Amino acid sequence: MTTLIITILAISQIVTFYLIFKRIKPKIIKPDGIVLKPIPKEYNYEEIDPDHNTVYDVLKSIKLEEWKPEIDEEFSIGNSKDYSVKFQSHDSKVRVRSRMCFYNDSDNDMYFSFYINSKDISIKIDEKSIIRDDIILFLWDYIIEYHENKRSVSKTYYDNGIKNITSNLKALNRSKKLNSIL
């Protein structure tokens, strides 16, 4: 019986020492020198204005004050369409520039950037922003208007050309008049 008690006490002592040594953390040796606090990360616009009030205010001002858009359309290799849309306030203190590039006529394959510049700040909205789609829809209205204006200019050009050409076809016009009289 005494051997059983001694055996149990020995086993319990071994388990106790094992648990004690397992909980002891190794001592971390610090390198020679000093340890500096990490540099804080820079703020971005979305952390300061999470509701994007400034961007929405600029978009409203563009509509209300009727800022004139400057649109450049480019075609590049691989059937991509590239649009650059720029706005400038009437007092030239706020400028907006954006760029949209569509690859293979798909809005899934698209590059987008949008900047608002002022004397003191530049705000960037890129492809990962949650208001990306709102801005693209806003800009798309101006791109459609640009194409409608371009289309009306070409229609006027062709209408005037057709009138000019048909008025110069004297023999054909005489034949049409004779056929209508007969």
Per-residue model confidence as pLDDT tens digits over 10-55: 888 887 777 776 666 556 666 677 777 888 888 888 888 889 999 9
Question: Rounded CA gap, 151 and 158, in Å?
Answer: 11
pLDDT at 178 over 70: no
* Structural domain that includes position 156: 49-181
- Please name the amino acid found at residue 96: V
Residues in a beta bridge with 117: 95, 122
Is residue 88 very low, low, confident or very high in pLDDT (cuts 50, 70, 90)?
A: very high
In a domain, 112, yes or no: yes
Question: Rounded CA gap, 153 and 112, in Å?
Answer: 29
Predicted local confidence at residue 68, as pLDDT:
92
In a domain, 40, yes or no: no
In a domain, 77, yes or no: yes
The count of structural domains within the chain is 1
**3-class SS letters over 147-170:** HHHHHHHHHHHHHHHHHHHHHCCH
Predicted local confidence at residue 77, as pLDDT:
61
More confident residue, 123 or 177: 123
In a domain, 18, yes or no: no
Q: Which among 134, 115, 139, 118 has a CA at the least distance from the CA of 126? A: 115
27 backbone dihedrals φ, ψ, rounded to 5° = -75, 125
In a domain, 17, yes or no: no
Predicted local confidence at residue 43, as pLDDT:
82
More confident residue, 131 or 36: 131
Arithmetic mean of pLDDT, 90-100: 91
pLDDT at 122 over 70: yes
> What is the tally of helices (H) and strands (E) in the chain?
5, 5
In a domain, 24, yes or no: no
In a domain, 42, yes or no: no
Predicted local confidence at residue 85, as pLDDT:
93
In a domain, 85, yes or no: yes
